[in-house]
Amino acid sequence: MSRTVKFKGAPLTLTGKIARVGKRAPDFKLISPDLKEVSLADFTGRIKVINFFPSLDTPVCDLQVKEFNKKSAGLSSEVVVIGISKDLPFAQARFCSAHEIKQEVVLSDYRFSSFGLNYGVLIKELNLLARGALIIDQQDCLRYIQLVDEITQAVNFSEVFDSLQKVISSPAVIRKPWGGCVCGK
């Protein structure tokens, strides 16, 4: 995964640890719209599709959340779609209410920046998250990462949902004693 992204062509630095496919997904501490702390453990046993983005107040982020919400409507209960930004929980709740975002859990990284730092997607210069998506399987193995190079562009939705189908059809994971995992093919 790249250590930089661009905003209108200008490079921006990503900070934090680099998350890698095939490794155990790092934990995070996020804030829900009702101001409760939420971690990876709150989604144990489910496939997690995480949609991360800079701010709901931009057209591309608006589109991204709405598209993930729409595409997640037909998914089984074994899959949860999570949207993460550094927007305040109040703004996220208002956005979700105004746009009927009911299929996606939208959470904030504003307080701890733990998602951004633990996945290496925190933009140093802006203190915002980069744009992308990732998939974590039922055993908390990171199975897919898409980091968008130019943050003014949307993620490749087809690629994300094609990868999700592969994870659903091949859930096997072998745990390693040192905390890593080898994902099924």
Kindly state the tokens that stand for 51.
């949609």
Please report, for the domain that includes residue 85, its CATH number. 3.40.30.10
Instruction: Based on the residue annotation, tell me whether 96 is a catalytic residue of this protein.
Output: no
Question: Is residue 145 within 8 Å of residue 71, measured between CB atoms?
Answer: no
Give residue-wise pLDDT tens across range 134-172.
999 999 999 999 999 999 999 999 999 999 999 999 875
Residue 185, pLDDT score = 39
Domain range for residue 18? 4-183
Chain segment 127-137, per-residue pLDDT in tens: 999 999 999 99
**DSSP assignments along the chain, one per residue:** --SEEEETTEEEEEESPPP-TTSBPPP-EEE-TTS-EEEGGGGTTSEEEEEE-S-TTSHHHHHHHHHHHHHHTT--TTEEEEEEESS-HHHHHHHHHHTT--SEEEEE-TTT-HHHHHHT-EETTTTEE--EEEEE-TT-BEEEEEE-SBTTS---HHHHHHHHHHHHH---EEE-TTS-EEE--
Averaged over 15-40, what is the pLDDT? 96
pLDDT at 173: 58
Residue 1 scores a pLDDT above 90? no
* Mean pLDDT of the chain, nearest integer: 92
Residues 96-126 have pLDDT tens digits of: 999 999 999 999 999 999 999 999 999 999 9
Q: Which of 61, 96, 141, 181 is catalytic?
A: 61
Domain count, the chain: 1
Say what the pLDDT of residue 74 is. 87
